[in-house]
Amino acid sequence: MKRSPVIVILVAVLALVALQQSAFIVDQTETALVLQLGKPVRGAQAPGLHFKLPFVQNIIFFDARLLNYDAQPSEVLTKDKKTMEVDNYSKWRIADPLKFYTTVRSIPRAQARLDDIIYSEMRVALGKYTLIEIVSSKRAEIMEQVTRESNKLINQFGIMVNDVRIKGTDLPPENARAIYGRMRAERERQARQYRSEGKEEAAKIKASTDKERSIILAEAGRQAEILEGEGDAESIKIYADALNRDPHFYEFQRSLKAYKAGLKNGTTFVLTPKNEFLRYMASPK
């Protein structure tokens, strides 16, 4: 009995479809779970070719690589009661696909869990340090603490957090305005202080200069008087020496000065010809 070609073709097509439905390939960057009626029946499948029951079982794939989650900036309160806005990100991966599927099922829901847990641990950790410590010396220590504590809580969802990092820190707008206002007030206070100190120093310099000027002028006046006195003494000495050499010349000069002072226009004298006052006016014999 010969088989109909149509039946042979139909059987071949069905066999090909069954083979296609039963075979699946897991990529190097993935892991997979075999589900039957929505329930996992086999654990994580390693990369390579695998088989399943056609039409009854289906496959769900998960990314096996290191994933990145960039959280929204959030506010935290530091030990010294400073409010700061922290922008953080985390590196995580699916460590247990079966546990991951039975708890959170999808990447978005896993990220929501990460957001809650990491933010909570971040807030607790940052609350133990001051603002200066967070932005300078203690950041690495804080991040290690947050990563360690987050892993303890997130492990129940089949997730492993490899690293948590602070991408940036900033002050809330209202805090920034208040700080800028205080900074401006402090700078203005310093400017007033510098101006006041400058005026005080200028007054000291002026007073010192005026004092030095007065001392210099007084010393110059004293030296001038000494020199003038010495000059007068020297002049008198020279004059006296000259007079001592010819006393008659001195008498003659004194008489000329007396004539000049006494014989002016409108002056009347009644003197005898032999008066001593007129002896230099008499005609020589």
pLDDT in tens, 126-153: 888 888 888 888 888 889 999 999 999 9
User: Any idea what DSSP says for residue 46?
Assistant: P
The amino acid occupying position 178 is: A
What integer is the mean pLDDT of 35-62?
84
In this structure, of 130-134, 144-148, 226-230, 247-251, the range with the lowest mean pLDDT score is 247-251
Structure tokens at 153: 């809580």
* pLDDT exceeds 70 at position 49: yes
Contact 22, 53 (CB under 8 A): yes
Share of the chain above pLDDT 90, in %: 18
Q: Where are the domains of the chain?
A: 5-63, 67-171
Q: In whole numbers, what is the pLDDT of the chain averaged over residues?
A: 82
pLDDT in tens, 164-189: 998 887 777 766 677 777 888 888 88
E-strand ranges in the chain read 23-26, 30-36, 39-45, 48-51, 57-63, 67-70, 74-77, 83-94, 159-170
Which CATH number, 2.30.38.10, 2.60.40.10, 3.30.479.30, 3.30.420.40, labels domain 67-171? Answer: 3.30.479.30
Share of the chain above pLDDT 70, in %: 81
